Copies of this chain bind each other. A is one copy, B any other.
């Protein structure tokens, strides 16, 4: 049997849930304490204020994301791995979705978090470039350093903005259904499609077509 989560852990879990469902800016430490049925004093014993809770959740988020932004050591990466890898990234972005809802406001009010986020995104962009260049060396993609940088930026933007795109253009209060997750993976794989060498092009196109899910609301 799993150990009962500590109060500290319960505070983090409840905060994440409340931030995700009601928006970080609408939630105070009093809401969190009241949701858990603990006193504000007990909460302050573990976290001295809300930014400390946000910072800790960011550390969790960053740790989970970085696993996927690290170049696998001499692993034979295939296309199915790639789809699963993107699925995991989108899933983590969904679990910590409050981070990218009103990201600019969140960072504006917390300069320390802004600095950490900047470093995290720069490191992720840099690692993504390395992954693409490794694919190029393995003869799967054909791109140079500048193209790898450009592609990484577009992938980063689509990945981190996919949920905002769905909420604002497809209607609010969506859950990230399996379908919409797949469509996000598709949108990102398509970005790489133009750089795939001829020998792999058919496999990539066939994978893309399997992931394609129509978005009803934007059909003309």
Contacts and interface: CB of A to CB of B under 8 A. Distances in A.
A154 B146 contact: no
A213 B167 CA distance: 32
Contacts of A212: 146
A105 B101 contact: yes
How would you classify the secondary structure of chain A's contact residues: helix, strand, loop or mixed?
helix
A104 B168 contact: yes
Contacts of A187: 150, 153-154, 157
Contacts of A93: none
Contact of A150 (B122, B125, B190): B190
Given A154-B187, A164-B103, A191-B154, A169 B108 contact: no
B162 A105 contact: no
B149 A218 contact: yes
Contacts of A103: 164, 168
A107 B168 contact: yes
A126 interface: yes
A102 interface: yes
Interface of A: 23, 25, 101-105, 107-108, 114, 117-118, 121-122, 125-126, 129-130, 146-147, 149-154, 156-158, 160-162, 164-165, 167-172, 186-187, 190-191, 193-195, 212, 215, 217-220
Given A125-B169, A149-B218, 5 more contacts: A23-B108, A146-B212, A147-B190, A157-B157, A161-B164
